[in-house]
Amino acid sequence: MKPAPRRWQVSDAAPLTGQPPLLGRILAARGHDVASAATFLDSAAPFHDPRGLRGMAAAVDVVRASIASGERIAVYGDYDADGVTACALLSRALRRSGVDTVAYIPNRMSEGYGLHGAALAELHAQGVRCVITVDCGTSSVDVAAARPAGMRLVVTDHHLPLAPDGTPPALAPADALINPKQPGCDYAFDGLAGAGVAWKLLAALEAAGLVPEGSAEEALPLAALGTVADMMPLRGENRLIVQRGLPGLRNHAGIRALCQAAGLPADLRAADIGFGLGPRINAAGRMEDARLALELCLCDDDDEAFVLAARLDTQNRERQAAVAVAVAEAETMVAELADDAPAIVLGSPDWPMGIVGLVAGRLAERYARPSFIVCLDPNEAKGSARSVEGVHIVEALDGAASTLLRYGGHKVAAGFSLEAGRFDEFARAVSAAVATQLGDAPRERVVAVDGEITAADCVPTTCQVLDLLEPCGQGNAAPLLAVRDCRVLSTRTFGASSQHLRVALGDDTGIFEGIAFFKPGLAEHLPRNRRVDVCVALERDEWQGQVRVRARLRDIRPARVVPVVELSGSPMGRVPSTIAQARPA
């Protein structure tokens, strides 16, 4: 199997009225009308009332009763960045309210995802009489039913309960269950992250007078971090959480230290979470134990935070090295697959369980096929899956349910486990299920281009207009813009080991600078005066008080006179058809 070809899909939507022309074109390209665009851009919109979430009133009553009884409360999270931040924001608020609070995160390697009976028994032995889950628990039916006698249980989650046979999903028998996706919940927005749902509980506790006024506002930065790190769509209430939470992230001692370790700018954006903070927090759970990341998120001491952040940064580098090795091995295996294979299903006993999801994501992106990557542990093989447009990954796993021990997740990402000896059987079943969903859809990576600009538009004022779309990320990508028929003026490498490339490009309206990270070999394909079409993301670059604009190169093609739609599947000559997005250090 070869990497999937890219096809530019350039919008020709007419600009919306009442907006700057470029912004109006982008909003129209993304399906907005005048009314929805105004709502989308309204940064002063109110949050929805948390009491609108099904189960919220019961949850507040349970917590009120536990606080009144002086009981020890445990906040039980998940080992990814969403679960860690959710656990931290709720634990911090309860502790500052004088509540005896235990923060608990299961170990990915030894315990795995979700509620565990042994963990609840251990917490009960420590005097815990109320457990609040965050980012997990909805489907833990048996564990919840068998919890220690007298233990109250509040489940807050956002994962879609599984019901492969189409029947109503079985929900954990908790004293209260909050999940915006559960049947019967008519809350106005169902796309909250686990941290978002935990934050809504905190807001409800504040409204009930159970935690001090301002607790929810103080916790908003951690909710924003979890929302972006879990790749939740940045629309609706998620957009407000991230928009309002980002400015306060550096006020948190632990996150401030992690920003320093990651070399992030003072003015944080959602992309800095996605590529800088999120991977470092996730690295703890992937490489060792997520409790290290939890300690950082609970930390208020600058010196301690500095030490914890340095450890997380080291673990992230180890994670990057492990992923690079596994991806290289997986690429060799993918090369043996047929180009028309409906799915990529690979396994190895040498791939650490904590990184298989990252490997699956890389392969799905590069080959435009759903990827199922498995750590073939002889006791219980565990895998992660990442999807592509047109395939619901959990429904694909439904088709292979008879081969699995357990599974769960979202439309685009899931986790699963099986007996190692059934891997081949699983591969056949899940590939057949994917093939049914895909039909005859072509294997291609569609580049959604929001519109066309000229070199004269590559100026700071354009970036100011584009900033109105922030925060950008999942579900609200940073705008991609096409500049047609540019002439290559010069190329030069830069970086400590000359690993990056600067390209000076010009058209009849002016000159601009393009940047291609980790693509130094591209220079040989861009001789002076060659004419190309480029797809770029504009970024403001500030240095020594000077503001300029650079264009992050996303794709380069030989300049064509024919309409863009006719480029699909066309040979790209000697110019590489893809400029891969730089991956963070």
**Residue pLDDT, tens place only, 186-211:** 999 999 999 999 999 999 999 999 99
Phi first, then psi: give them for residue 516, nearest 5 degrees: -125, 110
Across the chain, what does the average pLDDT equal?
89
Q: What is the mean pLDDT of the segment spanning 123-130? A: 96
Instruction: Decide yes or no: CATH 1.10.760.10 for domain 50-316.
Output: no
- For CATH 3.90.1640.30, the residue range(s) in the chain are 50-316
Q: Which numeric CATH code is attached to 6-30+450-567?
A: 2.40.50.460
- Report the length, in residues, of the chain: 585
Alpha-carbon distance of 169 to 184, in angstroms, equals 12
Per-residue confidence at 570, pLDDT binned at 50, 70, 90?
very low
- For CATH 3.10.310.30, the residue range(s) in the chain are 337-443
Query: What local confidence, expressed as pLDDT, does residue 170 receive?
Result: 87
Q: What is the mean pLDDT of the segment spanning 113-140? A: 92
CATH architecture of 337-443: Roll (3.10)
Per-residue confidence at 580, pLDDT binned at 50, 70, 90?
very low
Per-residue confidence at 11, pLDDT binned at 50, 70, 90?
confident
Q: List, in sequence order, every beta strand (DSSP E) within 429-568.
A: 445-449, 451-453, 481-494, 500-507, 510-516, 531-543, 546-558
pLDDT at 581 over 60: no
Cβ count near 545 (within 10 Å): 5
Q: List, in sequence order, every beta strand (DSSP E) within 26-137.
A: 72-76, 101-104, 128-134
Phi first, then psi: give them for residue 526, nearest 5 degrees: -125, 65
**Per-residue model confidence as pLDDT tens digits over 322-362:** 999 999 999 999 999 999 999 999 999 999 888 999 999 99
Phi first, then psi: give them for residue 285, nearest 5 degrees: -70, -30
pLDDT at 554 over 50: yes
Say if residues 125 and 394 touch (Cβ distance below 8 Å). Answer: no
Query: What local confidence, expressed as pLDDT, does residue 563 receive?
Result: 43
Query: What local confidence, expressed as pLDDT, does residue 566 receive?
Result: 33
Cβ count near 88 (within 10 Å): 30
Alpha-carbon distance of 174 to 156, in angstroms, equals 10
Query: What local confidence, expressed as pLDDT, does residue 567 receive?
Result: 32
Of 181, 174, 170, residue with least CA distance to 63: 174
Say if residues 84 and 196 touch (Cβ distance below 8 Å). Answer: no
- For CATH 2.40.50.460, the residue range(s) in the chain are 6-30+450-567
More confident residue, 260 or 113: 260
Mapped onto helix, strand or coil, the DSSP state of residue 245 is helix
Phi first, then psi: give them for residue 40, nearest 5 degrees: -60, -40
